[in-house]
Structure 1
Amino acid sequence: MTHSIAILGASGYTGAELIRLISGHSSMRIEALGANSKAGQTIAQAFPHLRHLDLPPLVTVDEIDFSRIDLCFCALPHKTSQEVIAALPRDLKIVDLSADFRLRDPAEYEKWYGNPHAALEQQAEAVYGLTEFYREEIRAARLVAGTGCNAATGQYVLRPLISAGVIDLDEIILDLKCAVSGAGRSLKENLLHAELSEGYHAYSVGGAHRHLGEFDQEFSALAGQPVRVQFTPHLIPANRGILATTYVKGAAGAIHDTLVAAYADEPFIEVLPMGEAPSTRHIRGSNFCHIGVVADRIEGRAIVIAALDNLTKGSSGQALQNANLMLDIEETEGLMMAPLFP
């Protein structure tokens, strides 16, 4: 069976990544591409690297006939996404890539994103889209809220360790580097080549980053008590990739054993041999996440490092993984491509 797919926000980076992934999918066909700002253009005009694909033109959302669509990916900006999704047919399956449905508490959403939630009915039914930990809920869901790419990386490291009780919950430091595509395709002065290249910098320092809302929500629920991590993201002059270095208090051997056991049957999470550290160059363009554990020179402390591609496993690949579950397709379909190297 072939499922008809729509992508809203198809002219952004995550939209292009969805098109790339779905073009190799055996059970999905792209029926509609919504991109209000580039409506009327062909995919070759928006993304020359996709010109070989036979795809519909970019149109406004209002022009799409959703009665012909089985599942819609929504890759629109925060706030815009909730307004659009609230107006979509109630029987339409949706995977949202924005932040609009990630936080279960509307007050928390307003705290982190600065405006009241405008689609409370839809927010109440949304399932958090971290596939490996919400698989069965996602399979039965109508609306899935994709995680933040930074939030996904940190959770792959910390969720099993918090659940197993092998680390001190008051001693967690997450130092994360993210490539520039994580900031989206819109023109921004600070992302110009001359402003960004040949250096990198911390941002949202001291607890201002919005993905902390996801960390607080998920880690506290796992632990049954408030968990607050120290988190500092850094913008690096690279196109793709996230490298998260986490400093924890706990026995390195137990931490490694816990991660190996937690991900033994997961197709996309690779725990490296003890003492090896991952690199973004080894997961680029793929849906894989590599995790490494190294014992610190200070006894009883460990360093856990995770690498993933922010556009694939951190966003569009995760979205496709979830859509496969929602449509009763093999979870790995369209996602087993090897990383790009060099």
Structure 2
Amino acid sequence: MTKNIVILGASGYTGAELVRLLATHGGMTIVALSADRKAGQAMGDVFPHLRHLDLPVLQKIETIDFAGVDLVFCALPHATSQAVIKTLPASVKVVDLSADFRLRDMAEYEKWYGKGHDATDLQAEAVYGLTEFYREDIAAARLVAGTGCNAATGQYALRPLIEAGVIDLDQIIIDLKTGVSGAGRSLKENLLHAELSEGAHAYAVGGTHRHLAEFDQEFSAIAGRPVTVQFTPHLLPANRGIIATVYVHGDAQQIYDTLQAAYVDEAFVETLPMGQHPSTRHVRGSNFCHIGVVADRIEGRAIVIAALDNLTKGSSGQALQNANLMLGLPETQGLMMAPVFP
């Protein structure tokens, strides 16, 4: 018997990615899709690449009947997401793709997102959705908070190293490049083709990117003391993909061995042979994360590089991986497709 699924915010990139993944899942049936401005339209008209699928017509959230629904994917903007989720029936499981339930400290949420949290009771039960590190909690959860895509990439490179104590916690630099789909589908002047193509630029320089809050929260919890990383993201003229180059102080072979041991049994995280490094083109459209380790020419330093697809492993694929666990389905179901190449 398949599980009944609703996707809220289906007219955005992450919503469309969820539909693409669920189309061949086999264990879930989409019973409703919501959109605001595009309510009443067919999904195939909004996203022509999905026109071959038999999907519900997009509708307003308030017209959806949640009776019999097993799980809701909420792909709405932060603040909107918490307002909607707190009105859902308590019997419905939720995977939220926004930032609303990622941070455990509500003062930190207000600091980074500029407003107080309006669903603090729900925040108390939310589980952080980095699957490989919160698997058991996710399986038992009603509400799972999907991670930021940049935050996920950096964490795959660093969490095992911090836990094992093989790097200097005060000397971590994350230099990250991301594709433009991470900024969402809303019209923005700086994301026009003529403004973005044929160049790349840093943004949120000096520690203003909101995903830093997740790094602070997660790394400090692992270490048992404050860990503050340097992080600079760059926007690439590419549709999708993230690559993070992480500079650390430690023995390169020990760092490699630690990552290899941490991920050897993980279906979606692959540590490349020592000295090799990943590319976004080798994970595009997939739920895989590739990690490479290279010894720096300066003794005692190493470079860890992680690559994943921001819309899949960084967002919608991660969301489906979590939903599989929450619904008692095989964790890898619907997610073992090979990357798209070239």
TM-score by length of 1: 1.00
Inter-partner Cα distance in structure 2 for 1:273 and 1:251: 16
Which residue number corresponds to residue 194 of structure 2? 194
Matched residue, 1:141 = 141
Residues of 2 paired with 1:24 and 1:201: CA distance?
A: 37
In structure 2, what is the Cα distance between the partners aligned to 1:44 and 1:133? Answer: 36
Distance 2:318 2:71 in 1: 15
Aligned residue identity for 2:103? L
1:167 and 2:158 correspond:
no
Aligned to 1:103: 103
Residue in 2 aligned with 1:281?
281
**Aligned match of 2:267:** 267
Q: Who is 1:214 aligned against?
A: 214
Deviations 1:121-176 (A, max 9, x none): 11111000000000000000000000000000000000000000000000000000
**2:179, 2:78 → 1: CA distance?**
20
Matched to 2:58, the amino acid is L
Partner of 1:227: 227
CA–CA separation in structure 1 for the residues paired with 2:323 and 2:296: 39
Secondary structure of the residue that 1:125 maps to in structure 2? coil
| TM-score, normalised relative to structure 2 | 1.00
Moved over 3 A (4+): none
In 1: Cα distance, 2:136 partner to 2:48 partner: 38
State the identity %: 77
Partner residue in 1 for 2:308: 308
Q: Which amino acid aligns with 2:283?
A: I
One-letter amino acid matched to 1:201: H
Cα distance in structure 2, aligned partners of 1:107 and 1:318: 26
Mapped to 1, the partners of 2:38 and 2:120 lie a distance apart of 29
Alignment partners' CA distance in 2, 1:277 and 1:41: 43
Q: Which residue of 2 aligns with 1:153?
A: 153
What is the match of residue 40 of structure 1? Answer: 40
Whole-Å separation in 1 of the counterparts to 2:26 and 2:43: 21
Q: Which runs of 5+ in 2 are unaligned?
A: none
What are the equivalent positions in structure 2 for 1:232-243 lying under 5 Å apart? 232-243=232-243
Q: How far, CA to CA, are the matches of 1:146 and 1:160 in structure 2?
A: 20
2:122 corresponding residue in structure 1: 122
| d(CA) in 2 for partners of 1:77, 1:171 | 34
The number of residues matched between the two structures is 342
Which residue matches 2:7? 7
Q: CA deviation at 1:37?
A: 1.5
Structure 1 residue 68, shift from structure 2 partner:
2.3
Q: For 1:180 and 1:321, how far apart are their aligned partners in 2? A: 23
SS at match of 1:98: coil
Q: Alpha-carbon deviations, 1:166-197, whole Å to 9, x = none?
A: 00000000000000000000000000000000
1:217 partner amino acid: Q
SS in 1 for 2:124: helix
| Superposed CA offset, 1:223-250 (max 9, x none) | 0000000000000000010000000000
Q: Distance in 2 between matches of 1:37 and 1:256?
A: 48
What secondary structure, in the 3-state scheme, does the structure 2 residue paired with 1:4 have?
A: strand
1:91 maps onto 2:98 in alignment = no
* Distance in 2 between residues matched to 1:111 and 1:91, nearest whole Å: 32
Letter in 1 for 2:193: H
Letter in 1 for 2:116: P
| 3-state SS in 2 of match to 1:247 | strand
Instruction: Give the C-alpha shift of residue 91 in structure 1.
Output: 1.5
Cα offset, 1:45, TM superposition = 1.0
Counterpart of 2:251?
A: 251
Give structure 1 stretches of 5+ with no counterpart.
none
Q: CA deviation at 1:90?
A: 1.3
Q: Distance between the aligned counterparts of 1:211 and 1:261, measured in 2?
A: 27
**Which segment drifts farther, 118-127 or 322-331?**
118-127
Cα separation, 1, equivalents of 2:313 and 2:192: 25
The separation in 1 between residues aligned to 2:242 and 2:228, in whole angstroms, is: 21
Rounded Cα–Cα distance in structure 2 between residues aligned with 1:236 and 1:86: 36
Q: Secondary structure at the match of 1:186?
A: coil
